[in-house]
A = this chain, B = another copy of it.
Amino acid sequence: MKYYIGVDGGGSNLRVALVDETMHLLREVVRGKANPNTLGIQQASDRIQQALREITEGFHEPIRAVGIGISGAPKAIAEKWLRDTVKAVLPFAEVVPSSDEEIALVGANGERRGVLVLSGTGSIAHGANDAGESLTIGGWGYLMGDKGSGYWLGMQALEAYIRHEDGTDTRPTSLVERVRQQCGFKDRFDIIPWLYQPAPDSSKVARLAPLVLEEAQAGDAHARHIVEEGAAELALLAQTIVRRLHITQPRYAFAGSLLTHPTPLAEALCRRLRLPAPPQPRYTPLIGAALLARLTVDPV
């Protein structure tokens, strides 16, 4: 029996899993965030290494390979860093540096192939074809839109609010009142400190996304329009990957909080991609990281 480790440093926690070659989970460790952009490279390394030590403590079989994807550390940039970080603890294991998106795709589809669309606070898409070529698009961050993401949905809700306040849009919508209530806006000027002080915060804006989804569900025309526009943008990401990688039978996967629950956004995206229902992932991104390690070093 061979053993593999998966490391998933995306989203809100660092997760490490020890699995056997059938992807059966033997041990799991969960820690705080490991994003090198916020923690710094050194502290992110320390945290990953500590979790690796913990999960292998008292485990006497050799670890064949470690698959690792850390959010905020794109594969091309972080390859050497991830390799060095893991090798310092497990010098004899193979290291397979990866990214958030890749381990999510491999986990969801159980193979390194298909098209993943992610919509959480931000949005990004990743794909891989039969020839082994892969591609990541979107994910430009909150200022450039990350269209179809929670931040974007929240900003559309705020825009509905200011256009109503200005009177530049007079169409009736129940969304504006919900925004006013949730944000506690008493007068026109309250949105300025809410949005800009102390500093723009993309998660705060993304927390308005559920309003848009609920109002869309309830039938508000404005909210439905926003959801359709968001789904169109996410579909465009997915279809661009299909086109650029010449994928003929795309196997889609969804990731991120806005697509892995049965939301109007997930439904609208399914319609545009002609899927009967949101695709269900085979494994989590964490197991995806371990599976990626196995697929890379022990291809069957």
Collect the chain B residues with CB atoms within 8 Å of residue A192's CB: 140-141
Contact with B along A142-161 (1 / 0, CB 8 A): 01110000000001001100
Q: Which of B74, B141, B155, B237 contacts A166 (CB 8 A)?
A: B237
Given the known A-B contacts A144-B159, A144-B162, A159-B145, are A168 and B137 also in contact in the complex, defined by CB atoms under 8 Å?
Answer: yes
Q: Is A138 part of the contact surface with B, judged by Cβ < 8 Å? A: yes
Chain B residue with Cβ nearest A244: B167
Q: Is A89 part of the contact surface with B, judged by Cβ < 8 Å? A: no
Chain A contributes a number of interface residues (CB within 8 A of B) equal to: 29
Q: Is A195 part of the contact surface with B, judged by Cβ < 8 Å? A: yes
Candidate in A76, A141, A166, A196 with the most chain B CB atoms within 10 angstroms: A166
Collect the chain B residues with CB atoms within 8 Å of residue A141's CB: 192, 195-196
> How far is the CB of A153 from the nearest CB of chain B, in Å?
15
> How far is the CB of A234 from the nearest CB of chain B, in Å?
11
> How far is the CB of A170 from the nearest CB of chain B, in Å?
9
Collect the chain B residues with CB atoms within 8 Å of residue A184's CB: none
Contact A144 B199 (CB under 8 A): no
Q: Is A179 part of the contact surface with B, judged by Cβ < 8 Å? A: no
Contact B167 A243 (CB under 8 A): yes
Contact B140 A191 (CB under 8 A): yes
Q: Is A59 part of the contact surface with B, judged by Cβ < 8 Å? A: no
Residues of A within 8 A of B (CB): 74, 76-77, 137-138, 140-141, 143-145, 155, 158-159, 162, 166-168, 189, 191-192, 195-196, 199-200, 236-237, 240, 243-244
Known contacts A141-B195, A145-B159, A199-B199; can you find 18 more A-B pairs with CB under 8 A? A77-B189, A137-B168, A140-B191, A140-B192, A141-B196, A143-B155, A143-B196, A143-B200, A144-B155, A144-B158, A144-B191, A166-B240, A167-B240, A167-B243, A167-B244, A168-B237, A168-B240, A200-B200
A-B complex: 8 closest residue pairs judged by Cβ atoms: A137-B166, A168-B240, A167-B240, A168-B236, A140-B162, A167-B244, A143-B195, A143-B200
